[in-house]
Chains A and B, each alone.
Chain A
Amino acid sequence: DGGITQSPKYLFRKEGQNVTLSCEQNLNHDAMYWYRQDPGQGLRLIYYSQIVNDFQKGDIAEGYSVSREKKESFPLTVTSAQKNPTAFYLCASSLRGQAGNEKLLFGSGTQLSVL
């Protein structure tokens, strides 16, 4: 079955540690995205990528980094520079960019907590 797989489901980070969240899709989608969701807040865009080896900052990129070495994979690293990393992280993809009527498909999310 085609879909988006995020792992792990739960992740704990120690102070000063970098952690990486995995996102893989087998939908042959060009565009991939990372969102952050805090309780009672709307989703906020961290990074997005429309093509391999290219990505753009979203609204809250500080303290995060990404790579897009393969079309199927778009990992997100939460660095020690992100002082408030506790949140629910969602990866998404679309066939092309978000413009127009492209349907945005989401993964099942990763809950990151700070120890």
Chain B
Amino acid sequence: KNQVEQSPQSLIILEGKNCTLQCNYTVSPFSNLRWYKQDTGRGPVSLTIMTFSENTKSNGRYTATLDADTKQSSLHITASQLSDSASYICVVSAQWLGNTPLVFGKGTRLSVIA
């Protein structure tokens, strides 16, 4: 079964600290992996998209890594800010013949406190 599992489910960190969110997937055949940030009551916003050949991709203080062999990805947030408080969603795209290849994780809820 094609699944995307994220951990931890929720996380609380102090402002200025770093954190790493995990994403494991069983989606096959793999096309790409995306990380989204979703503020409460808002739509998700894309942070990164990585293909099979990309190991690392950065977007400001956000750095995503991908290990296609172990089917794992991580999102590292550096020097966290209060505005980083949000849900982070991992999405994996499959190379299916159909047009609905995206499999969504349940998200990690991050709270950054002062």
Contacts and interface: CB of A to CB of B under 8 A. Distances in A.
A15 B102 CA distance: 32
Interface residues of B, number: 24
A41 B43 contact: no
Chain B contact residues: helix, strand, loop or mixed:
strand
Contact of B43 (A40, A97, A98, A108): A108
Given A108-B43, A111-B41, A40 B106 contact: yes
User: Main secondary structure on chain A at its contact with chain B?
Assistant: loop
Contact of B51 (A50, A88, A98, A101): A101
Contacts of A105: 46
Given A98-B100, A98-B102, A107 B46 contact: no
Contacts of B41: 88, 109, 111
A101 B106 contact: no
A109 to B, nearest CB: 5
Nearest to B45: A106
A19 B42 CA distance: 21
A1 interface: no
Q: In the complex, which of the residues A45, A88, A104 has the most CB atoms of chain B within 10 Å of its own CB atom? A: A104
B64 interface: no
Interface string B89-114: 10001010001111111110000000
Interface string A28-39: 000000000000
Interface of A: 4, 6, 40-45, 48, 50, 56, 58-59, 88, 90, 92, 97-101, 103-109, 111
